[in-house]
Structure 1
């Protein structure tokens, strides 16, 4: 074979597919993956794009089409029952959890229980957290998250793209298929995890059949970091719209964008962005252009297209998208890999190492379907040399149907071919392959919904069965945590770039908290919390937090604690006996207790003598006066 042809990369698990790895050069088949093998696609991206198509085919029950093109045979009878799609949905839902929460570090300290003034940084963190959650609701972030993560789990990669919408007054979020994403990675990308300074989103646009002379085009959207230059303005007077330098009234002095500062010693232009403490000399340029496919030379790819043949698009506000200065010091795109990248960038699909198992399952399901046909309508052989209507030595075919009666002469016999044992073995083989699939995917049967609830073991046993999933989900969350923190940091910066009046103060760290994925026995958790709080081995705050995590409808932990304490009169009485403080009891119950005023001194009536006469005052007292 030769060492040069033995390829080990993120997609080498698919090399067993002849359509994916040509026997001679280990390149995808152009007939099966035509879009991955276009001339403008870089050679290093051929296998990646072909793998995306192959994974999508399996997830959409279209693997038979790949086999049909590869082998030039009719594979339409192949049975595919959705096992890859089911696995992708299960992994995605368990990885995301029931709900996802945007949390800003320090926001929990914005409210104090002792009435003291909270830290201004905590107040700012709480305000940013509230605004980010409002933005996520307006942008349907939960929907975008599901859309993006399904692509990441299935194909190995997904991409978010952010852009400031001046009309809506907020950043807009888009999910881009990784098949359109072409980062300009450095030569040492295998040793570096730094994000590239130049990325492209490219796709082909078919010719419009309703327009005469219309041609197929390649559209490329480019984001590139570079030194800040002088101001440019659109020029639409030429054969195509472009951007040209803007000059002062003298026609010779180039103008700069407002706020920029020229440094004559270094020969650079610096700009102070609202989210930085020090000026920066870097900005992001946007280019949106189209090329006729006929104008792309054989030695050019998406990274080296000739701008002389490009047609630049124009934005709604009249800005020509030819190296347009976005006034950002970052590329507003976030690439999310499904796994920890081995080469510094690309992730691995959750289906990659399981494709051969899916092929075995599909083959067994196909054989089972064929065997069930002969079991439901068995093959019959009639031995009747003297049957009426036939001659000796002549074979006669009889159509068999339910309720049919066959008249046999003397010496006749019926022979049936029973295929049910083979069908049973095929079903056992399917169960064995499903168990292997669950083992290799690290998804227990309980997580795939393959356990009968009436036969489920104890809750503790079910919790233990989720053990293999914990390290898998931890490894999936690890590359995602920093990516989503970066996404929310970009959202804050874009709000500041748009000079939104509510977005003041520094950019704060934000993270996406994943929800729990395990089913919870609410009755058991409630009994556990009740006993622990009653026996004094668990605080009420911790108990309420456990109930919240178990799925009880608790909107705010602190408010729930206040409601509970406001009804605990026995504990309040014990507190009063222990402290003797009505203020402490009032704080405990959440009410204002005013102590009763002291009772007035009693006024006693005068005492009477034995004779019934009033007692005379003593001599010398004021009563004698």
Structure 2
């Protein structure tokens, strides 16, 4: 009978919290997590939303408030010193590295060092790489990345949402809180290897009694469906909506420009600029509001009745009622913190550590109380004399303060209760729990900043101490690599959808390269690169890459290599001796060298017949005689 109430899922590590899992129904407490238990929230999403609130409370030193509501006691004396927030910040910073770089494979071949001409593919890759980096700078992608990944590490999931801004002429990037995200997974089973065809972003808007507005539910929906005929905005009726557009005869429906109707299959196809073949799928956007009074008890965010919806209008006047975005994909990317076991949801880095945090907070609370008695010790006074008792014969309480003098009768004494041993033991317990936290989180003490580098035996020992963290970061990067590659593909497609003149050519693969997280000895790396390149066991390209990873301020590796080669005159002389080619030397130095002019053809005197020379000699001889 108990097995029916035994739940194992992404959030079952939190079941020890009575507020998170009711003993009878394994559902979150409505009193502690009112947002997760709203009537329009699907039952399968309640535990997920409650976990987001719980993780955020621990990261903001508010776990005492949850304990107070759960136990109906005063928990304000509970001490929380920011251990969860510190762990989230450490994991996030080490996972991202010092610097993240947008790279397009093949872009490094746009400037060949051998003097040959770059291929069109390499030139296109370099052009896309440069434009994506410019887009990332304009959209403050580095800040968005930090904001999003902090949510992913803390809560287990994060969402990116893209939209084409015609006024700014570029795609805009937004980070959505995962608590607003409701994907329509198959059969609501929470198991889908592919991204769903329909997702919602929903949140509740509280009303205002002064203005007379009611509580509302706002829902933004993206869904893929067959391409339909053209629709136009109609705002003259009782509510804004979209209606079919007809020809002048009022009978023939119109199609969007460029669409093709196939009477055989009765489908409409569209050629998207990023596809080789036409597609029959498009993405529809709906943005609507419902009064909470109009939502029935058996409805949730997936099954709301459109008859009671009020559709919102975009700035350009388009009513957001199944508006055709003319995209064959949903412009949203869900990034899990870990590799999903069920195909969709990630796992928070705090999930399995909450009990450790509770133990730490309990020990810190006890240490705080013990330190109070250690700093202001409890005194026992024996035979204080007449001044030690009140008129009623009761023991008079004496307040201990610096410099005070206590007068006692003959034979009197003062005893102090020493609580420092208990305080020392509590501090040892805290150190033990912190070591356990470091072990279970796979974050060594050197990564958490709790070790003195000057006391480390060697730099090699510090490097080895990062060993347990490397598999953790590799797994986190694996869960993210394809997601960010998809994000940058969507950026390219949105540029093409907006017919941006600077984005010709095909959509290419893009990678987000994570920076290094280990502290490096720059002087040691520089010496290693110098020795390796000079002795010929390391190429200049590899050496420059190692310098970039070590943190040297090199913006473009290709330009740095070209600058280095332009000053290597001894190597250029050796190249000239080996090849005899002035052109090769010019390509090596990156300068134009005019080839040596060909030597002039020697002009020889005309050839003469030897017999004539003899006759001329004989005649000369006779004349002399």
**1:501 corresponds to:** 501
Cα distance, 1:556 vs. partner? 3.0
Answer yes or no: is the 8 Å Cα contact 2:193–2:344 preserved in 1: yes
Secondary structure (helix, strand or coil) at the match of 2:7 reads coil
Please name the residue that 1:610 is paired with: none
User: Displacement, 1:530?
Assistant: 2.2
1:78–1:363 CA contact under 8 A, matched in 2: yes
User: Partner residue of 1:46?
Assistant: 46
Which residue pairs with 1:278 in the alignment?
Answer: 277
Instruction: Write the deviation string for residues 491-522 of structure 1: whole angstroms up to 9, x where unpaired.
Output: 11111111111111111111111111111011
Unmatched 5+ residue regions in structure 2?
Answer: 603-619
Aligned to 2:310: 311
Q: Against the structure 1 CA distance between its residues 589 and 107, is the aligned structure 2 distance closer, same or farther, given a 3 Å change threshold?
A: closer
Does the C-alpha gap of structure 1 residues 28 and 182 become closer, same or farther in structure 2, counting only changes over 3 Å?
A: same
Residues 189 and 345, structure 1, Cα contact 8 Å, conserved in 2: no
Aligned to 1:611: none
Q: Summarize the alignment of residues 595-614 of structure 1 with structure 2, pairs less than 5 Å apart.
A: none
Q: Which residue of the partner structure matches residue 604 of structure 1? A: none
TM-fit CA distance, 1:191: 5.0
Contact between 2:185 and 2:191, CA under 8 Å: does it hold in 1? no
Distance 1:32 1:423 in 2: 34
Determine if contact 2:44/2:188 at 8 Å carries over to the other structure: no
> Quick one: structure 1 residues 259 and 13, their matched pair in 2 at CA, closer, same or farther if it must change by over 3 Å?
same
The answer for the alignment partner of 1:375 in structure 2 is 374
Distance 1:125 1:29 in 2: 53
1:104-123 matches, cutoff 5 A = 104-123=104-123
Find the counterpart in structure 1 of residue 423 from structure 2: 423
Which secondary structure state, in structure 1, belongs to the residue aligned with residue 187 of structure 2? coil
Q: TM-score, normalised by structure 2?
A: 0.92
Q: Which moved more, 1:557-566 or 1:65-74?
A: 557-566
Output the CA distance in 2 between the equivalents of 1:580 and 1:334. Answer: 56
| C-alpha distance in structure 2 between counterparts of 1:527 and 1:472, whole Å | 31
Q: How many residues were matched structurally?
A: 602
CA offsets, 1:251-285, max 9 Å, x none?
11111111111111111111111111111111111
Output aligned runs, 1:215-254, within 5 Å: 215-254=214-253
| Corresponding residue of 2:9 | 9
Give the aligned partner of residue 23 of structure 2. Answer: 23
Map of 1:60 onto structure 2: 60
CA contact 1:171–1:491 (8 Å) conserved in 2: yes
The 3 A distance-change label for structure 1 pair 133 and 583 is closer
Contact conserved, 2:153 with 2:349, CA < 8 A, in 1?
yes
Shift of 1:397: 1.0
Aligned to 1:193: 193
Give the deviation of 1:583 after TM superposition: 5.5
Separation of aligned partners in 2, 1:105 and 1:534: 28
Alpha-carbon contact 1:107-1:126 (below 8 Å) kept: yes
Q: CA deviation at 1:525?
A: 1.1
| Residue of structure 2 in register with 1:543 after alignment | 543
Matched, 1:208 2:211: no
2:616 maps to none
Structure 2 vs 1, CA of residues 579 and 323 (structure 1 numbering), >3 Å: closer, same or farther? closer
Q: Secondary structure at the match of 1:285?
A: strand
- Provide the rounded CA distance (Å) in 1 between the counterparts of 2:389 and 2:307: 84
Note the 1:312-461 alignment, pairs <5 A.
312-384=311-383, 386-388=385-387, 390=389, 394-461=394-461
My pick for the range that moved more, 364-373 or 267-276, is 267-276
Equivalent residues of 2:99, 2:515 under 8 A apart? yes
Q: Which position in structure 1 is the counterpart of 2:160?
A: 160
Q: CA RMSD in A?
A: 2.2
From the superposition, tell whether residues 220 and 578 of structure 1 become closer, same or farther in structure 2 (CA, over 3 Å). closer
Q: How far apart are the structure 2 equivalents of 1:51 and 1:191?
A: 19
Partner-residue secondary structure (3-state), 2:515: coil
User: SS at 1:262's partner residue?
Assistant: strand
Q: Could you tell me how far 1:389 is from its partner in structure 2?
A: 5.9
